[in-house]
């Protein structure tokens, strides 16, 4: 267990292309950093991997992951649900929900945590940590509990008590900082001075979450490809904060496109509570701080974007859609009427679907997938 994938050859800088050997570059490319350029890195692999259909869940895609064998709570292989009622209403023949809340801690983060933990174990680290007010914290706590690692979740005092209880029950320690920004400085200090292994971002402008972990999100792309009988969807709608999930899914599709020689590429839509990616696409500097109200959809909150999420949206010929959090309740009602009770942040997908339909972007036979990242059981009733 926790043996590194021999195909993984290193990391490359998305901006200058410089290649680095396999290691942890948690603050990105040094030469680009010195010039205040984008610093994000992504892994690259040698040769072609194989999907192993005789294996279960995410292990099927082990040859595409940095650690093919990782601690598991049964994550992945989530259902692709055909939402017939919505499909009829909106005249889309192929409308699906990828139901990520069927993961062990009821969010997509369970595809990232096992790989972060596998890396931490390989490095013989004893403490893993995340700056998170929700799903990432719960998920990391669960996989740390599974493997006996210590887990520290850095959050703010206003953390939703549902997540707080889950994190504590799974034995992780919660550390409070007064502001969201202080979570990052606190984590950075512990990583650099005490060797805590981080699952999440801690620098500004953000470089994104742990790249070993983000590789886990590629499995969503692989599962969609297999569930759609060897086809790629036309559109994938993704609830987005800083864009880790979007970037991971993009990398998965990119590998599939190269491997299977697809002419087409799914158009990725970042669904956000207010304009961040949208502003950058319209010309704003991606390093800016984007103010907006996300109290009703905290899981896709935050005021920053990542360079790679912008690249992924642009390269896929996708777009960003911002849905006012006030619309969350109506969106929750609409998707719940199909039997899928989503966290408010995920329910914004419905608003995005309607907005794109209004813009006439879909044709009747387009395959549209909405990635439902988390369950409505996590929302407080006052939402």
Ligand X SMILES: Cc1ncc(COP(=O)(O)O)c(C=O)c1O
Tokens of 28: 């990105």
Nearest CA among 21, 357, 312, 27 for reference residue 187 = 27
**242 near ligand X (CB under 6 A):** yes
Please give the size of the binding site for ligand X, defined by CB under 6 A.
19
Give me the residues paired with residue 82 across strands: 96
For Zn ion, which residue of 29, 151, 153, 348 counts as binding (CB under 5 A)?
29
216 Cα distance to chain centroid: 9
Site for Zn ion in 206-245 (CB under 5 A): none
Integer Rg of the chain from CA: 19
CB of 152 to Zn ion, least distance (A): 30
**310 near Zn ion (CB under 5 A):** no
Give me the residues paired with residue 97 across strands: 81, 370
Give 69-122 as a DSSP string. Answer: S---SS-----EEE-HHHHHHTT-SEEEEEEGGGSTTSBGGGGTHHHHHHHHHH
Query: Which of 244/327 has CB closer to ligand X?
Result: 244
Site for ligand X in 134-173 (CB under 6 A): 134-136
Query: Which of 61/250 has CB closer to ligand X?
Result: 250
Give me the residues paired with residue 43 across strands: 11
Task: Select from 36-44, 128-136, 225-233, 358-366 the region that touches ligand X (CB under 6 A).
Answer: 128-136
As a whole number of angstroms, the distance between CA 246 and CA 171 comes to 30
DSSP-derived secondary structure letter, 9: E
332 binds, among Zn ion, ligand X, none (CB under 5 to 8 A by kind): none
Task: Select from 24-32, 44-52, 73-81, 335-343 the region that touches Zn ion (CB under 5 A).
Answer: 24-32
Q: What's the chain's length in residues? A: 383
**155 close to 174: Cβ distance less than 8 angstroms:** yes
**16 near Zn ion (CB under 5 A):** yes
For ligand X, which residue of 245, 268, 328, 332 counts as binding (CB under 6 A)?
245
For Zn ion, which residue of 13, 106, 281, 353 counts as binding (CB under 5 A)?
13
**345 near ligand X (CB under 6 A):** yes
Task: Select from 17-25, 169-177, 187-195, 259-267 the region that touches Zn ion (CB under 5 A).
Answer: 17-25
Query: Which of 65/214 has CB closer to ligand X?
Result: 214
**343 near ligand X (CB under 6 A):** yes
For ligand X, which residue of 223, 234, 244, 334 counts as binding (CB under 6 A)?
244
Kindly report the backbone phi and psi dihedral angles of residue 369, in degrees, each rounded to the nearest multiple of 5, phi listed first. Answer: -115, 130
Task: Select from 15-23, 78-86, 129-137, 331-339 the region that touches ligand X (CB under 6 A).
Answer: 129-137
CB of 238 to ligand X, least distance (A): 7
Binding mask 269-308 for ligand X (x = CB under 6 A): ------------------------------xx--------
CB of 132 to ligand X, least distance (A): 7
As a whole number of angstroms, the distance between CA 200 and CA 116 comes to 10
65 binds, among Zn ion, ligand X, none (CB under 5 to 8 A by kind): none
32 binds, among Zn ion, ligand X, none (CB under 5 to 8 A by kind): Zn ion
Nearest CA among 231, 232, 317 for reference residue 269 = 317
CB of 225 to ligand X, least distance (A): 20
Q: CA of 336: how far to CAs of 17, 83, 268, 281, 323, in Å?
A: 45, 11, 24, 32, 18
Kindly report the backbone phi and psi dihedral angles of residue 329, in degrees, each rounded to the nearest multiple of 5, phi listed first. Answer: -60, -45
Tokens of 64: 């595409």
Query: Percent helix, strand and coil across the chain, each rounded to 5?
Result: 40, 15, 45
Residues that bind ligand X (CB under 6 A): 107, 134-136, 239-246, 299-300, 343, 345-346, 373-374
Residues that bind Zn ion (CB under 5 A): 13, 15-16, 18, 29, 32
């Amino acid at each position: 267990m926790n043996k590194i994938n021999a195909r993984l050859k290193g990391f490359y800088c998305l901006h200058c292309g410089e290649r680095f050997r396999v290691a942890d570059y948690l603050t990105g490319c040094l030469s680009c950093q010195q010039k205040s350029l984008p610093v994000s890195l992504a892994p690259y692999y040698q040769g072609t991997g194989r999907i192993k259909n005789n294996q279960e869940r995410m292990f099927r895609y082990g040859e595409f992951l940095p650690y093919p064998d990782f601690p598991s709570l049964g994550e992945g292989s989530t259902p692709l649900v055909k939402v017939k009622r919505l499909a009829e209403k909106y005249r889309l023949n192929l409308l699906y929900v990828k139901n990520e809340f069927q993961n062990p801690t009821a969010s997509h983060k369970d595809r990232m945590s096992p790989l972060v933990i596998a890396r931490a174990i390989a490095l013989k680290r004893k403490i893993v940590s995340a700056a998170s007010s929700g799903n990432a914290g719960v998920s990391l706590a669960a996989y740390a509990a599974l493997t006996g690692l210590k887990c520290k979740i850095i959050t703010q005092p206003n953390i939703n008590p549902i997540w707080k209880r889950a994190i504590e029950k799974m034995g992780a320690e919660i550390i409070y900082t007064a502001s969201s920004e202080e979570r990052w400085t606190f984590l950075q200090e512990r990583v650099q001075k005490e060797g805590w292994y981080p699952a999440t971002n801690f620098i500004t402008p953000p470089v994104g979450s742990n790249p070993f972990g983000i590789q886990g999100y590629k499995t969503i792309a692989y599962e969609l490809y297999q569930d759609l009988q060897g086809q790629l969807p036309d559109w994938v709608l993704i609830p987005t904060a800083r864009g880790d999930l979007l970037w991971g899914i993009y990398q998965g599709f990119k590998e599939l496109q190269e491997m299977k020689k697809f002419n087409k590429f799914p158009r990725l839509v970042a669904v956000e509570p207010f304009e961040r990616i949208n502003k950058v696409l319209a010309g704003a500097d991606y390093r800016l701080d984007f103010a907006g109200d996300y109290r009703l959809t905290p899981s896709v909150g935050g005021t920053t974007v990542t360079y790679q999420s912008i690249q992924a949206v642009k390269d896929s010929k996708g777009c960003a859609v911002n849905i006012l959090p006030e619309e969350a309740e109506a969106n929750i009602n609409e998707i719940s009427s199909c039997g899928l009770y989503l966290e408010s942040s995920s329910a914004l997908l419905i608003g995005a679907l309607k907005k794109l339909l209004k813009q006439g972007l879909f044709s009747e036979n387009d395959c549209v997938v909405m990635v439902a990242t988390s369950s409505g059981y996590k929302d407080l009733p006052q939402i």
